[in-house]
Amino acid sequence: MLIAEPKNKPLTLKSVSKVLGVSTATISNAFNRPDQLSAKLRDKILKQCQELGYHGPNLTARTLRKGESGVIGVLLSDSLAYYFTDPVANQFLTGIAEVLEKNHKQLLMLSCAESTKQTSGIETLPDGFIVYGTQDKNPLFERVLQTNKPIVTVDFDTDNYASINIDNQAAAKEVAMYALQHTQNANIAILGLRLIHSDRVCRITEDELYNEGESVSRRRLTGYMQAINEQDLNITSDYIWHIPHNTYEDATKAAREALSTHPQPNCVLCMSDVIAGAVLAIAREKNIQVPQELKVVGFDDIPEASRTSPALTTVCQKSIEKGRLAASKLVKGELTQKTILPTALIKRETVEF
Amino acid sequence: MLIAEPKNKPLTLKSVSKVLGVSTATISNAFNRPDQLSAKLRDKILKQCQELGYHGPNLTARTLRKGESGVIGVLLSDSLAYYFTDPVANQFLTGIAEVLEKNHKQLLMLSCAESTKQTSGIETLPDGFIVYGTQDKNPLFERVLQTNKPIVTVDFDTDNYASINIDNQAAAKEVAMYALQHTQNANIAILGLRLIHSDRVCRITEDELYNEGESVSRRRLTGYMQAINEQDLNITSDYIWHIPHNTYEDATKAAREALSTHPQPNCVLCMSDVIAGAVLAIAREKNIQVPQELKVVGFDDIPEASRTSPALTTVCQKSIEKGRLAASKLVKGELTQKTILPTALIKRETVEF
DNA sequence: TTGTATGCGTTATCAT
DNA sequence: ATGATAACGCATACAA
């Protein structure tokens, strides 16, 4: 039996080497490079370390020395707390977690809430980053860029980095076309997500309608507008809502406003399934029959979409796959290719039975 | 204008100090201890660092030196991928994230998937841990314990550590009493979560029914059984299901089995709202009227519980609050108190209209 | 096959 | 007020 160090002093390679009577290098090799010593000695050392309660090298010191931590950072474009409540983000994170676990990488969640002043230097820890969503003026993102570490961007694009996206415009157009083709005398409302910079649920103005941009929402809006034009229909900005967060609460406010408008919309194009779910709830509350009196389409195809009643017609984007792909690009070092993932129109019950 | 170092060499305190012509200590002080130098010099240094693109000390080196990383680890009792899909866990994590962000701490997600062999040493990085759910034979948990770092446990208890729990047994008994009191000629089924160690949805055996334990599920089961006894009713083990994961898929299987049993249950006690939601879906599929022909109660009070149709009667446990409290205990260093959070019976529509 | 010595980037102590 | 220097715990080149 070996004499253990005092409980309060954490064990180090050096202290353990003293107790075992071998050099620090040998113990380090026992853990990291089995070929550098005899199997017999290695086994003996590993067993003795276990007895002592030394579970292996300190990650911080090893990271400093090797310049590699085994940690992957996921940079989100809003507060963490928000992302845990968003079903789309949850699927995305699920995909990431799956791949990282398989590759023995740790997952560090980084929110943009980091203020400029209080710089923690956290960006120096991870070996690479998955950046989810446009990082408008996010100081942490700037610092991440300057680390020159591997980056994969998702749902937006930046020169020189691998990215994963979908064709939001085409997908939005397709689902809108389908909805409009099944609507007589269409009276359209659009419930948009993050169309403008405001924390309030509100309608957008005519000016804002033409403020083009490259964001996910703007692409979807463009797709909707294309469908509306091709069907020789039209819509004014006061039938287009801005919803700041993809939450049931915000969406419910917008849905209530939209379905209280006269003339009442009979076709609501929603930029997420969460929003569409809220529309369904308000429709039930107001005794509006879906799909007979009101067509509703969503976007994302979250798990709940197939369980609403009536089940939601929507655009399937494989969010889990997005996460998996982002993580595996990072892990494999495929750092240049820009991927457009396919989407699919999912016809359920909210447009036609 | 200062001459920047070559782009590929990351800037360090030392290299920056050379360029600026001051010592490393002074720059370090400029970032960390404003009182150690004149405000004028500090401002100048900070400005010059910014120009050079040096954003502050490397976290790894600083952690090694200070023994403090600003990272909090959340240790989960299953795979990460699973936890992102569980609405209860999401609420819990939301609460944690809220508090950590406010205190400028980073969140590292640690799953128990870490194998014993491939020890990454990740437990040496965080300053403290939130441990969620029983860590039966989890090697990472063992190593976490040995770090002697601050720990808060949630949904289970271990000597000497702060913990947060609810009274599962009392809450389960209360909701079961309420359901049974409203059921004529009660024919009870229990849809349990993680009652035994099996990956399959299945009924439990008579033996397993009496395998008492201290897990959350067992406490709830005990509460249910107490209510059943007090109502002079009884239940046999073949009306008690084991569901391995709190997912809609697993729950649906169990719900389908349970509602296909003869005699058909008219009162289903579910150990989670996800499970209860699945029961509601199957009931609709089979044209069973809830609550007229079938009473259903859940557990947790997830956001969706109020939106099902009919709305779910359940036990409210404030999962977000759990997360908030766990994080704030850790941040504040309140490391001894064991907290029992209150629960509340939420009467909605699945027992009586 | 094993041991010695250096440096990773930082902070804190101690001089100056 | 500022600068030199040691130490944090480890991995690796190199010597033995």
CB-strand contact A38/C, under 7 Å: yes
Q: How far is CA B90 from CA A92, A200, A300, B73, in A?
A: 14, 25, 19, 16
DSSP 8-state symbol, B191: E
- Whether the pLDDT of residue A317 is over 80: the answer is yes
Q: With respect to residue A226, please indicate whether it lies within any of the assigned structural domains.
A: yes
Could you report the per-residue pLDDT of A261-292, keeping only the tens digit for each?
A: 999 999 999 999 999 999 999 999 999 999 99
Quick one: closest CA in B to A249, which residue? B303
Tell me the pLDDT of chain A averaged across its residues: 93
Range of the domain at B289: 168-317+342-346
Contacts of A244 (CB under 8 A, 6+ apart): A194, A198, A199, A200, A201, A250
Return the structure tokens found at B137: 């034979």
Could you give the CA distance from residue A217 to residue A63 in angstroms, rounded to a whole number? 40
Q: What is the pLDDT of residue A113?
A: 73
Return the structure tokens found at A75: 């940079």
Mean pLDDT of the region B15-30: 92
Contact A316, A301 (CB under 8 A): yes
B55, A146: Cβ pair inside 8 Å? Answer: yes
Residue B81 and residue B192 in one domain: no
Could you give the CA distance from residue A245 to residue A200 in angstroms, rounded to a whole number? 9
B146, A53: Cβ pair inside 8 Å? Answer: yes
Q: With respect to residue A1, please indicate whether it lies within any of the assigned structural domains.
A: no
Q: What is the pLDDT of residue A8?
A: 58
Residue from B52, B106, B138, B146 whose CB has the most chain A CBs within 10 Å, to mutate: B106
Residue B242 and residue B277 in one domain: yes
Query: How far: A12 CA to D11 C1' (Å)?
Result: 14
Percentage of residues in chain B with pLDDT exceeding 70?
96
Angle, in degrees to the nearest 10, between helices B13-20 and B39-52: 110
Residue A175 and residue A264 in one domain: yes
Query: How far: A64 CA to D11 C1' (Å)?
Result: 10
Contact A323, A98 (CB under 8 A): yes
Chain A contact present for B122, CB below 8 A: yes
Could you give the CA distance from residue A34 to residue A41 in angstroms, rounded to a whole number? 10
Residue A77 and residue A183 in one domain: no
Q: With respect to residue A307, please indicate whether it lies within any of the assigned structural domains.
A: yes
Residues 63-92 of A with CB under 7 A from strand C: 64-65
Could you report the per-residue pLDDT of B103-121, keeping only the tens digit for each?
A: 999 999 998 876 556 678 8
Q: Which residue has the higher pLDDT, B53 or B351?
A: B351
Q: With respect to residue B325, please indicate whether it lies within any of the assigned structural domains.
A: no
Angle, in degrees to the nearest 10, between helices B248-259 and B273-285: 50
Q: With respect to residue A241, please indicate whether it lies within any of the assigned structural domains.
A: yes
Q: Which of B106, B123, B277 sits opposite A120 (nearest CB)?
A: B106
Q: How many domains does chain B have?
A: 3
Rounded to two decimals, the pTM is: 0.94
Q: What is the pLDDT of residue A274?
A: 98
Q: Indicate the burial class of B130 (C-beta count within 10 angstroms; 0-12, 13-18, 19 or more).
A: buried
Could you report the per-residue pLDDT of A191-219, keeping only the tens digit for each?
A: 999 999 999 999 999 999 988 788 999 99
Contacts of B12 (CB under 8 A, 6+ apart): B58
Could you give the CA distance from residue B59 to residue A122 in angstroms, rounded to a whole number? 6
The two beta strands, B162-166 and B151-154, are: parallel
B108, A107: Cβ pair inside 8 Å? Answer: yes
Mean pLDDT of the region B190-213: 93
Tell me how many residue pairs between chain A and chain B have CB atoms under 8 A apart.
158
Q: Tell me the three state secondary structure of residue B320.
A: helix
CATH number at residue B46: 1.10.260.40
Could you report the per-residue pLDDT of A53-64, keeping only the tens digit for each?
A: 899 999 999 999
Residue A40 and residue A93 in one domain: no
Q: With respect to residue A94, please indicate whether it lies within any of the assigned structural domains.
A: yes
Residue A187 and residue A96 in one domain: no
Contact A165, A340 (CB under 8 A): yes
Residue B97 and residue B138 in one domain: yes
- Whether the pLDDT of residue B182 is over 70: the answer is yes
Q: Which of A206, A282, A267 is nearest to A238 (CA)?
A: A206
Could you report the per-residue pLDDT of B275-317, keeping only the tens digit for each?
A: 999 999 999 999 999 999 999 999 999 999 999 999 999 999 9
Lowest mean pLDDT of A234-243, A245-254, B4-13, B72-81, name the range: B4-13
CB-strand contact B53/C, under 7 Å: no
Tell me the pLDDT of chain B averaged across its residues: 93
DSSP 8-state symbol, B256: H
Could you give the CA distance from residue A169 to residue B219 in angstroms, rounded to a whole number? 51
Mean pLDDT of the region B32-58: 91
Residue from A78, A80, A149, A282 whose CB has the most chain B CBs within 10 Å, to mutate: A80
Q: With respect to residue B333, please indicate whether it lies within any of the assigned structural domains.
A: no
Q: With respect to residue A139, please indicate whether it lies within any of the assigned structural domains.
A: yes
Write down the residue that tokens 């719900």 correspond to. B255
Strand residues in A276-330 grouped as ranges (E): 295-297, 314-317
Quick one: closest CA in B to A116, which residue? B55
Query: How far: B62 CA to C7 C1' (Å)?
Result: 16
Residue B105 and residue B208 in one domain: no
Examine the fold and report which residue of B125, B145, B165 is the final residue of a domain before the chain moves on: B165
Could you give the CA distance from residue A135 to residue A112 in angstroms, rounded to a whole number? 8
Residue B77 and residue B96 in one domain: yes
B80, A91: Cβ pair inside 8 Å? Answer: no
- Whether the pLDDT of residue B7 is over 70: the answer is no
Residue B175 and residue B123 in one domain: no
Examine the fold and report which residue of B165, B186, B210 is the final residue of a domain before the chain moves on: B165
CATH number at residue B233: 3.40.50.2300
Contacts of B131 (CB under 8 A, 6+ apart): B75, B141, B144, B151, B152, B153, B154, B156
Percentage of residues in chain A with pLDDT exceeding 90?
84
Q: What is the pLDDT of residue B6?
A: 44
Residue B122 and residue B242 in one domain: no
Could you give the CA distance from residue A71 to residue A300 in angstroms, rounded to a whole number? 29
Nucleotide nearest to A33 (CA to C1'): D11
Residue A177 and residue A152 in one domain: no
Could you give the CA distance from residue B206 to residue B201 in angstroms, rounded to a whole number? 16
Quick one: closest CA in B to A284, which residue? B309
User: Which nucleotides of strand C lie under 7 Å from a protein CB?
Assistant: 1-5, 7-13
Examine the fold and report which residue of B111, B144, B165 is the final residue of a domain before the chain moves on: B165
Q: What is the pLDDT of residue B117?
A: 60
CB-strand contact B94/C, under 7 Å: no
Q: Which of A61, A64, A108 sits opposite B106 (nearest CB)?
A: A108
